[in-house]
Structure 1
């Protein structure tokens, strides 16, 4: 027999947030007013369940229980039961639902019962279903004890049993029995679920800290998390618990000027189903409980606090690239060592949302929908600087004027500005290609998952701007002469650069690229100082380590007529793909041959016989770099850069612009290993 569910209205909070996000007012609420077959199935099959409840002070908390399928079961008539190991000392939800009674006493509800929210979740299959209801009964006791007499009595029809115990040993491991009558249920999508295999583990809970000002250990746990659970409440009417996931480190901690202030957490609300059930609750009742599980160690951080929803420009000012973000100021917290009854290991996952890790084990189990980590403006996110200069007072656009292919995947693009704008050497430009690439909202997009949260704003180092050849305007004293054009040198990687590269083909049949809005010019702090400013430098050299197009900040410095940097006194260590050999020729032969005299170029990978300008042979390009008759004496290596290569230069200050792996290696070799200063270009956008 089928079940009929009347359509549920949106809550005032849900409607308010939907209106804030400019959604149509006639959306249907798909939440069922009963336990659906999907929910019943997930309860029986899921190895874990997140649970939310209110404590005696009406503060929401969240936790996660389980370890293997079968610990939760539908009992019929819209009721489900849970019997699972829990931390009976410090788990805030376990203690809240039994009013702190942890010696096996049976707590039976009278009337409607207290609110309980659940989320049975299977991280391998990336399936989850939200359930909400009212507690029928619960019992929390020591795990592993015997029964009998009064301590062993069973409550008929509730499936909850009181448990008796012998002896005084108490390691904090307990057993929770909970019965809930479901009033709402709703299936959720697999986005942002990072796949993990769950296995049971022994509980040995130990409270490490309970301060709302998080300790370094608590902060480190958050930094390694790629998911958390959040509970929220619509006053006393209903409540919700759900999952938030993303790349490792997607939850940020707001820097504080006071070491004694409560900690504030910030996380981005990624593109979802647009029901805004959690945010609707936070709009009505700005409090939330969060649970951060460490699947590797079994440690867990519980926090509860007050919340603030940031939307639109407010969100972008706090967390650049975000249209929605939530800040939680912690009012209470518990960091518990080995407080979880399970462990989790990354798994390949199943279904359309399963990531393909290839040879990169760090991607194992990661959702393909995860966007890159977004840094807070207060953490030094450089994109937060865009729009803060003189260009903020006008709407600037950049029109593509000319292109030059250097290699199959590296090219130079010159743009004209819609209005003269000061652009300094060392700055970057933030180009907005959303008008060309944004296809609008989709709930799921398995063919292009990362586009759901992509604002299509990209930052590129400006390698040349008109006016830079004016000595008076670039002497560091006179004001910067406004530029009317600028150039970027970029590698094809992703949709925005891909859009620009379509302009390279002489036979392309598409509408000319429309002017791109400029979000701003920023940076300017990364200036390569001349040798005279490089203190304690016995060799009088300026060492610069570049990876691929990481050469661009050096090109910008050399393009400015005001620079005192002598290219012949630069010790360049440049690693790039063999297929990009023509980029080395473009820089070291055509633009700045003086650089070749102190350059060591490290080619890696295969070349395929194409140097970039046509059918040039890579080996011919390499030979040209070594041409002593032309005054070029670059050292060319067919291997990766190694630590020993850098020991040829003794300098106190080093310059670095490279990808994450090379950046980390060079900092380790030079700064950590030798105690030298490393000035690095940051691309934390």
Structure 2
């Protein structure tokens, strides 16, 4: 019997191009549809969850959901609930108000450099969201900056979102100093949310309409780049870890493969949404991952 491999042809094409199909098959065995007790316990201590998907018009976004620990929890071996759901003004609010919306989620804990991804179908509930899992898996701690979370949420409410079709000077400066962002991508059967990290400056902003970053070696799955091979739509989420401001970007992305084996992703902006105070949490300054290129051990 041929074992089930959780990859579509886009991911397979990238794996074959890079020469990591065997490694991808090995790692792919860790992808299941069940939430193990250790994963359920991890979710229950998280103060934030990133969710990715397409809005009713087809634009792809990554959004930040926050709450007191326990706002995300497993409600069965194949389902999680999210209390509160997205803000009414969030770009994904309309899609998440519908039944069966394909979503990708990632719970990333800077305190422990652990992360867990769960992809599936969302539906609204009286308290927020429920997500039925199709894929559940964890990733290594590579490129995650360590941060602590002092107790107590910041007072105040999120501002009204500010929309734009190009990046402002302040936004470009903020992106150029970022050490972390989240990437939402989609394919014919679902969606995915992943993490990208590096030292400040790993994201380049050559114009008000374009972002560029190097794709660092990872787990060989190539879920995100595989999705972009078949569907270039993408959503990016940047968080100001101190003030709680979020900058959400939607557009398209393509991957460039160099002869030396390096990969570069170029993102072209369609719309930007900036929200001050979107997160109530203020994290400490980062301890950069020793895996970051250029980082001293």
Give yes or no for TM over 0.5.
Answer: yes
Kept in 2, the 8 Å contact 1:202–1:342? The answer is no
- Secondary structure at 2:289 match in 1: coil
- How many angstroms apart in 2 are the aligned matches of 1:14 and 1:86? 29
- For residue 213 of structure 2, what is the aligned residue in structure 1? 267
Q: Provide runs of 4+ in structure 1 moved above 4 Å.
A: none
Aligned CA distance change for structure 1 residues 54 and 291 (closer, same or farther; 3 Å): same
Structure with more contact order per residue of length (Cα contacts < 8 Å, sep ≥ 6): 2
- For residue 13 of structure 2, what is the aligned residue in structure 1? 16
Q: How does 1:4-153 map to 2 (within 5 A)?
A: 7-25=4-22, 27-28=25-26, 29-30=28-29, 31-84=31-84, 87-89=87-89, 91-98=90-97, 109=99, 113-138=100-125
- For residue 658 of structure 1, what is the aligned residue in structure 2? none
CA distances 1:227-258 after superposition (whole Å, capped 9, x unpaired): 011110112x0111011111112111124xxx
Kept in 2, the 8 Å contact 1:117–1:133? The answer is yes
Matched, 1:211 2:164: yes
Q: Indicate which of 291, 310, 317 corresponds to 2:237.
A: 291
- For residue 307 of structure 1, what is the aligned residue in structure 2? 253
**The structure with more radius of gyration:** 1
Matched, 1:252 2:204: yes
TM-score (norm 2): 0.89
Aligned CA distance change for structure 1 residues 263 and 94 (closer, same or farther; 3 Å): same
CA distances 1:569-593 after superposition (whole Å, capped 9, x unpaired): xxxxxxxxxxxxxxxxxxxxxxxxx
- Secondary structure at 2:282 match in 1: strand
- For residue 673 of structure 1, what is the aligned residue in structure 2? none
Kept in 2, the 8 Å contact 1:39–1:130? The answer is no
- How many angstroms apart in 1 are the aligned matches of 2:52 and 2:243? 22
Aligned CA distance change for structure 1 residues 203 and 219 (closer, same or farther; 3 Å): farther
- For residue 329 of structure 1, what is the aligned residue in structure 2? 268
Q: Larger % of helix: which?
A: 1
CA distances 1:311-364 after superposition (whole Å, capped 9, x unpaired): 124xx7xxxxx8011111011111122222322113xxxxxxxxxxxxxxxxx5
Shift of 1:85: 7.4
- How many angstroms apart in 1 are the aligned matches of 2:94 and 2:171? 21
Kept in 2, the 8 Å contact 1:264–1:329? The answer is yes
- For residue 222 of structure 1, what is the aligned residue in structure 2? 175
CA distances 1:130-165 after superposition (whole Å, capped 9, x unpaired): 101111324xxxxxxxxxxxxxxxxxxxxx34xxxx
Matched, 1:242 2:239: no
CA distances 1:447-494 after superposition (whole Å, capped 9, x unpaired): xx87xxxxxxxxxxxxxxxxxxxxxxxxxxxxxxxxxxxxxxxxxxxx
- How many angstroms apart in 1 are the aligned matches of 2:119 and 2:15? 21
- Secondary structure at 1:342 match in 2: coil
- Secondary structure at 1:345 match in 2: coil
Aligned CA distance change for structure 1 residues 287 and 208 (closer, same or farther; 3 Å): same
- How many angstroms apart in 2 are the aligned matches of 1:85 and 1:114? 14
Shift of 1:208: 6.3
Kept in 1, the 8 Å contact 2:35–2:74? The answer is no
- How many angstroms apart in 1 are the aligned matches of 2:223 and 2:262? 17
Q: Indicate which of 318, 341, 344 corresponds to 2:283.
A: 344
Aligned CA distance change for structure 1 residues 331 and 179 (closer, same or farther; 3 Å): same
- How many angstroms apart in 2 are the aligned matches of 1:36 and 1:326? 34
Q: Please list every run of 5 or more consecutive structure 1 residues that lacks an aligned counterpart in the other structure.
A: 1-5, 99-106, 139-159, 162-176, 256-261, 317-321, 347-363, 374-448, 451-685
**Considering only aligned residues, what root-mean-square deviation do their CA atoms show, in Å?**
2.3
Aligned CA distance change for structure 1 residues 208 and 217 (closer, same or farther; 3 Å): farther
Kept in 2, the 8 Å contact 1:203–1:339? The answer is no
- Secondary structure at 2:173 match in 1: helix
Kept in 2, the 8 Å contact 1:205–1:338? The answer is yes
- How many angstroms apart in 1 are the aligned matches of 2:77 and 2:115? 21
- How many angstroms apart in 2 are the aligned matches of 1:218 and 1:345? 21
Shift of 1:59: 1.6
Q: Larger % of strand: which?
A: 2
- For residue 293 of structure 2, what is the aligned residue in structure 1? 371
Aligned CA distance change for structure 1 residues 123 and 88 (closer, same or farther; 3 Å): same
Aligned CA distance change for structure 1 residues 208 and 218 (closer, same or farther; 3 Å): farther
- For residue 277 of structure 1, what is the aligned residue in structure 2? 223
Q: How does 1:471-510 map to 2 (within 5 A)?
A: none
Shift of 1:67: 4.5
TM-score (norm 1): 0.40
CA distances 1:568-623 after superposition (whole Å, capped 9, x unpaired): xxxxxxxxxxxxxxxxxxxxxxxxxxxxxxxxxxxxxxxxxxxxxxxxxxxxxxxx
- How many angstroms apart in 1 are the aligned matches of 2:213 and 2:124? 35
Q: Please list every run of 5 or more consecutive structure 2 residues that lacks an aligned counterpart in the other structure.
A: none
- Secondary structure at 1:45 match in 2: coil
The count of aligned residue pairs is: 290
